[in-house]
């Protein structure tokens, strides 16, 4: 009987890094998109909305397939990425960030839109009528008032980013020590009969998820969304 | 200040056609809710873009449908006072005021200190709006609007929900405000007291149309239509027929309520014209003169400023409590209507 192999924590740290970067990107770009959807009318808005919602209904494998085609080394985005960073994007941990982004972005945008819409428009109008530009109004009025709501969503987003399996598997692959994230590592452990590793990682993911949900909940509980009074 | 405002705006279930042409310090837009008052105000502030028309305030063109000019709200310098003040809840009073000063590009410590002082906010600068009383919030909102040296002050039902004492205080505050600025005041309200107190030029709105506009005294003395008289709610509107007209002595006789009454000459009307006599409820006086007509009182209704009497024939009058002391429903009492107060409308 050999003693149990020491637990390899690499997947956990990789997942945390991937989720953190994905959440940062979702927070910045997702908030921008949600702002456009909640505050602007433009041509093709309905189309943009459905494209954004699409990842929620498509199977992860289909999304992964699209990404693979889109980012392949001979595709335009793939070539550009390789020119800039000197290495291909697919089958790297950076691709896992993109996968997590696609996985958590749509839900964030949908909910963030609601949070931004809940900011009393009269406060934004008041700012405009006092002479404030749209940027000033966004950064000094809308964003501070939506801050708690958005950070609560960001922590949910982080939790969801940790959990992506399908898309990551397709575009980042399952390279131990390089692209193997938590959920992929668990799949791998179960497949190869390493029950101890699977159990440990499952517990770690669950504990993290509970922690993040609690954080998100306590942020919303105190969130006062821009109401007057 | 001169205002030349003439716009049309089509919404799915509403059509606004609004005109304000006046040279005055204070315009009141009066009407029931849903008449289009706030929409008119929003067109003036620039939050709503009209479909066609022109908005000229002083020498500044804000909107011109023909040439496609639409100045955005932030460049119009309108101090917009919203119904619930719209103070930024995450900022202190001081931060609210400095936000305005910076946004408008007019930071001035002197002005800030002046306004805080004038509106009794100096002690409250570090409070957030939620820690202020309603009256304090109102003062802060006005001070914030004045920070930008506004061209116009737009007020959306500012005293709605305030009790009588706070309402008085607000009128006083607005009087002080007007001494500090030559901004054109545009007030939206359906409160007659507010209308009387603040208005110089009055526009009456009903379902998206201006039904009468003019200087306050002219509008209240002679409503332009039966609809106006009824919607103001302070007039008697009684079916009448002209029996006699004498332009020389500025006299007329009207047949209404079953008898004959003295009135002024009605230019533009002929003998035998049928229509409605309009006069304020306060223009009806009790009389001891044996020659005056007696009518019976149907009901007495105590009212905030006296007693409102309902008479046979649909007549109503407001008299003081002491006068009403001896009256009972069913009493027959002589009364008089001040002839000069009577107007005549054909429809």
Indicate yes or no: CB of A141 within 8 angstroms of CB of B88. Answer: yes
Mean pLDDT (chain B, rounded):
89
Residue B113 has a pLDDT of 93
Chain B nearest-CA residue for A228: B86
pLDDT the model gives residue A223: 54
Outline where chain B has alpha helix (H).
37-45, 93-103, 109-118, 134-147, 164-180, 192-198, 216-221, 226-232, 321-324
Local confidence band at A229 (pLDDT 50, 70, 90 cut-offs): very low
For residue A131, give how far its alpha carbon lies from the nearest alpha carbon of chain B (Å): 4
pLDDT for A36 equals: 95
Read off the pTM: 0.83
Nearest CA to B154 out of B20, B64, B54 is that of B20
Asked whether the beta carbons of residue A126 and residue B82 sit closer than 8 angstroms, the reply is yes
The verdict on a CB contact (< 8 Å) between B74 and A133 is: yes
- Residue B236 has phi, psi (to 5 degrees) of -90, 135
For the cut 90, the answer to whether the pLDDT of residue B295 exceeds it is: no
Whole-angstrom distance, CA of residue A137 vs CA of residue A133:
6
Answer whether residue B347 shows pLDDT above 80: no
Which residue in chain A has the smallest CA separation from B81?
Answer: A126
**pLDDT tens profile A38-67:** 999 999 999 999 999 999 999 999 999 999
Helices (H) and strands (E) in chain A, counts: 12, 0
B73 touches chain A (CB under 8 A): yes
Residue B151 at interface with chain A, using a CB cutoff of 8 Å? no
Give residue A66's pLDDT.
Answer: 92
Residue A59, classed as helix, strand or coil, is: coil
CA atoms within 13 A on the CB side of A152: 20
User: Closest to A145 (Cβ–Cβ): which among B90, B148, B154?
Assistant: B90
Strand B209-215 versus strand B201-206 pairing type: antiparallel
User: Of the candidates B74, B85, B129, which has its C-beta nearest A128's C-beta?
Assistant: B74
> How many angstroms separate the CA of residue B78 from the nearest CA in chain A?
6
CA distance A213 to chain B (A): 26
Residue of chain B with shortest Cα separation from A229: B130
pLDDT band (50, 70, 90) for residue A202:
very high
pLDDT category at A7 given cuts 50, 70, 90 is confident
Two tokens, residue B48: 């709503």
**Interchain CB distance below 8 Å, B89 and A127:** no
In tens, the pLDDT along A13-31 reads: 999 999 999 999 999 999 9
Contact B293, B261 (CB under 8 A): yes
Q: Would the CB atoms of A125 and B47 count as touching at under 8 Å?
A: yes
Which of B72, B84, B103 lies closest to A130 in CB terms? B103
- Identify which of A131, A141, A228 has the shortest CB distance to residue B74: A131
Nearest to B89 among A129, A130, A228 (CB): A228
User: What tens digit of pLDDT does each residue of B109-144 get?
Assistant: 999 999 999 999 999 999 999 999 888 998 999 999
B144, closest residue in chain A (CA to CA): A130
| pLDDT tens-place string over residues B35-54 | 899 999 999 999 999 999 99
Q: Which residues of B touch A133 (CB under 8 A)?
A: 74, 103
Per the prediction, chain A carries an average pLDDT of: 89
Q: How far is Cα B322 from Cα A138, in angstroms, rounded to an integer?
A: 60
Q: CA-to-CA distance for B232 and B246, rounded, in angstroms?
A: 30
pLDDT above 90 covers a percentage of chain A that reads 63
What is residue A1's predicted lDDT score, i.e. its pLDDT?
Answer: 44
d(CA A90, CA A70): 10
Task: Calculate what percentage of chain B has a pLDDT beyond 70.
Answer: 100
Q: Helix/strand/coil (H, E, C) string of A145-179?
A: HHHHHHHHHHHHHHHHHHCCCHHHHHHCCCCCCCC
Contacts of B99 in chain A (CB under 8 A): 127, 130, 132, 140
Q: Average pLDDT, stretch A145-149?
A: 93
C-beta of residue A216 within 8 angstroms of C-beta of residue A155: yes
Nearest CA distance, B77 vs chain A (angstrom): 6
Closest alpha carbon within chain B to A137: B103
Residue-wise pLDDT tens digits, A101-111: 999 999 999 99
- Structure confidence at residue B91 (pLDDT): 96
CB B265 within 8 A of CB B245: yes
- Residues of chain B contacting A226 with CB distance shorter than 8 Å: 89
Task: Pick the closest to residue A148 from A218, A214, A220 (CA basis).
Answer: A220
Residue B274 C-alpha, separation from nearest chain A C-alpha, in angstroms: 50
- For B104, other C-beta atoms within 10 Å of its C-beta total 19
Asked if B287 contacts B336 with a C-beta cutoff of 8 angstroms, the reply is: yes
- Reported as a single tens digit per residue, the pLDDT across B157-216 is 888 877 888 888 888 888 888 888 889 999 998 888 888 888 889 999 988 999 889 898
Token pair belonging to A131:
């002479």
Please report, in angstroms and rounded to a whole number, the separation of the first and last CA atoms in chain B. Answer: 35
Q: What is the pLDDT of residue A87?
A: 87
For an interface test with A, give the residue of B39, B83, B91, B100 to mutate (most A CBs within 10 A): B100
Q: Is the pLDDT of residue A225 over 70?
A: no
Q: What is the mean pLDDT of residues B10-31?
A: 90
Cβ-nearest to A128 among B73, B84, B145: B73
Residues A107 and A99: their CA atoms lie apart, in Å, by 14
Residue B100 forms contact with A (CB below 8 Å): yes
Return the residue of B nearest to A140 by Cα: B99
Quick one: what percent of chain A has pLDDT higher than 70?
94
| Highest mean pLDDT of the ranges A48-62, A69-83, B315-329 | A48-62
Q: Which residues does chain A have within 8 Å of residue B72's beta carbon, measured at their own beta carbons?
A: 128
- Are the CB atoms for B126 and B95 separated by under 8 Å? no
Structural contact between residues B337 and B259, judged by C-beta atoms closer than 8 angstroms: no
Separation between Cα atoms, residue A130 and residue B106, nearest integer Å: 11
A129/B80 Cβ within 8 A:
yes
Q: Residue A222: its pLDDT value, please?
A: 61
For residue A204 the two structure tokens come to 């770690």
């Amino acid at each position: 009987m050999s003693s149990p192999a020491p637990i390899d924590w690499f997947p956990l740290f990789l997942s945390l890094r991937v989720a953190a970067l994905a959440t940062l990107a979702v927070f910045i770009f997702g908030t921008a998109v949600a702002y456009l959807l909640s505050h602007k009318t433009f041509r093709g808005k309905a189309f943009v909305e459905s494209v954004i919602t699409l990842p929620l209904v498509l199977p992860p494998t289909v999304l992964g397939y699209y990404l693979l085609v889109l980012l392949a080394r001979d595709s335009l985005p793939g070539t550009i990425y390789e020119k800039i960073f000197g290495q291909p994007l697919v089958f790297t941990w950076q691709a896992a960030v993109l996968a997590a982004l696609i996985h958590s972005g749509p839900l964030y945008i949908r909910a963030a839109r609601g949070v931004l819409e809940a900011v009393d428009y009269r406060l934004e109008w008041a700012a405009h009528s006092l002479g404030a530009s749209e940027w000033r109004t966004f950064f000094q009025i809308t964003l501070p008032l939506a801050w708690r709501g958005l950070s609560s969503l960001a922590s949910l987003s982080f939790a969801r980013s940790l959990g992506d399996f399908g898309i990551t598997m397709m575009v980042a692959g399952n390279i131990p020590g390089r692209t193997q994230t938590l959920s992929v590592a668990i799949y791998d452990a179960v497949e190869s009969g390493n029950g101890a590793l699977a159990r440990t990682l499952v517990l770690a993911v669950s504990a993290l998820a509970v922690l993040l949900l609690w954080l998100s909940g306590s942020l919303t509980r105190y969130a006062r969304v821009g109401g007057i009074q | 200040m001169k205002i030349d405002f003439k716009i049309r705006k089509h919404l799915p279930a509403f059509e606004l056609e609004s005109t304000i042409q006046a040279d005055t310090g204070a315009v009141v837009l009066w009407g029931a809710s849903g008449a289009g008052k706030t929409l008119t105000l929003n067109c003036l502030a620039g939050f709503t873009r009209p479909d066609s028309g022109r908005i000229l305030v002083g020498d500044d063109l804000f909107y011109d449908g023909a040439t496609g000019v639409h100045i955005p709200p932030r460049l119009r310098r309108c101090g917009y006072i919203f119904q619930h003040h719209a103070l930024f809840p995450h900022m202190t009073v001081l931060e609210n005021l400095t936000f305005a000063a910076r946004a408008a590009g007019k930071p001035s410590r002197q002005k800030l200190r002046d306004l805080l002082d004038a509106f009794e906010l100096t002690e409250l600068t570090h409070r957030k709006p939620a820690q202020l009383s309603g009256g304090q919030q109102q003062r802060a909102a006005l001070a914030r609007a004045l920070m930008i040296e506004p061209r116009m002050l737009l007020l959306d039902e500012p005293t709605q929900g305030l009790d009588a004492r706070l309402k008085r205080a607000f009128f006083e505050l607005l009087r002080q405000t007007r001494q500090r600025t030559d901004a054109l005041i545009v007030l939206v309200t359906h409160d007659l007291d507010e209308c009387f107190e603040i208005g110089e030029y009055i526009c009456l709105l009903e379902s998206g149309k201006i039904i009468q506009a003019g200087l306050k005294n002219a509008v209240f003395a002679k409503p332009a239509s039966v609809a106006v008289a009824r919607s103001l709610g302070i007039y008697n509107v009684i079916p009448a027929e002209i029996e006699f007209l004498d332009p020389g002595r500025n006299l007329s006789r009207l047949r209404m309520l079953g008898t004959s009454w003295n009135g002024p000459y009605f230019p533009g009307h002929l003998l035998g014209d049928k229509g409605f006599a309009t006069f304020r409820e306060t223009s009806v006086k009790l009389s001891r003169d044996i020659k005056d007509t007696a009518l019976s009182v149907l009901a007495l209704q105590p009212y905030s400023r006296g007693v409102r009497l309902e008479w046979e024939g649909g007549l109503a009058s407001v008299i003081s409590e002491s006068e009403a002391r001896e009256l009972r429903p069913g009493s027959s009492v002589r009364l008089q209507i001040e002839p000069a107060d009577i107007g005549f409308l054909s429809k």
